[in-house]
Structure 1
Amino acid sequence: MSDYLQVANDPMLWLMAAPGIGIVALQAVLFSKKAFNAGQYADLSRSEAWKAFKVGAISAIGPALAVFIVMLGMMSVVGAPITWMRLAMIGSAPTELTGATMGAQAMGVEFGGPNYGITEFSASVWTMALNGVGWLLFTGLFAHRLTGIRDRISKGDDRLTVEIGGAAMLGAFAYLVGGHLIAGGGRLIAAVISGLAMIALVYISKRMPKLLEYNLGIAMIIGMIAGVLFT
């Protein structure tokens, strides 16, 4: 079926995707409210909480741009409704694109190729959906137990808890960046340049404190531009 995009962009799919997006939006509002309410337990004033929220929103601009670019490519193949729903729920553009590609390959065709039709489109959608089920199940079944595990490891030492959290974040980000460093090319350039830009911005922020909250977003944008120019 060569005109499968008529199905992929059908209004019914928009209606089917909307509830999932609504739940994500509701969760964002509820989590934000809980975060603001929890600020009092961390001795954060309302203004400090808003400043932290602003820093997080600005820092999200860089990753959001990367997702937006991949989103445009996915929309041309799997349609706008499914792309909108998957990236809103998972937020990892490379993961969703890989899932869609693997679904097409399982059917023996190239993702977005001449033989990619309604059946292959369905396989891509199912692969993306099933790939995300594991994350959601683990979060729902075990997320509430992680606090107890953390407390057992740290044995109630607040300083150790902070160190464990910091080490976990460093490990996670090192893992994410490591793949780009190994890949080389534009990805390597983007990672290195954004890292150097972040170092420079930290020093500049000592003289211009108001710049501090924009550092991460600016560094990401600089890295992406450098990677594109190199490629």
Structure 2
Amino acid sequence: MREKIRISDKSKVLSDVFGVFYTGTHKGENAVDNASVLTDMGNRRKLYPFLDEIVGKTIYNLTDGSSGVITGITNNTVTATLAGGTGDDWDLNDLYVIGERVLNVAIGGPPVPGASMPPPDGYDTIADGNKDVTVAGTREPLVGSATPCKKVDIQANGDNTDVIVIGANTCVAALVGRRGIPLLAFSTYTLMIEDLADVNIDAVVSGEGCTFVYYE
């Protein structure tokens, strides 16, 4: 089994201790499923200012468990041949880390589930998903139908630029009248609940959202 490491969302810890230079998700105007090239429309200079020095570092697809050595990079794409995962490619909203010494990392939250990861003690199954808010101010359930569970870990996407809010079907992300639990990028919230469909999300910015892991 691969080593699982929990780390905080502090960029200095990411860079100095774990050799992590950048994190984000495969998303944006040109991002597609089953892609061989990662696309991230976020600012690549946020954590690591010298793009050419990232070539030769390792990129980890935390969603499918694959990794590869970076052979090319632009302001919004990363090229690497992935191996060792379930798909060895990039699907929309796949979470990634660029680093040197990291094997498999979940930023600020639970280890990313994979085929080799059993559910924690007290649970029979583990599953995961992601949810983006289509229109800011219009709350949506995490899932579209009844989904039994006992616990869910919810993490705001690393490239969110503003707050998302987790709550009931009355949650509001807007600062005026805000209701629910606000989460900034990489923040994690754990909730004990029997149906995942009862959990709602709203966002200040359209298209921003979260990833989640739930246990039953």
Same fold (TM over 0.5): no
- TM superposition score normalised by structure 1: 0.24
Structure 1 or 2: more helix by fraction? 1
Asked which structure has the greater CA Rg, the reply is 1
- TM superposition score normalised by structure 2: 0.25
Structure 1 or 2: more strand by fraction? 2
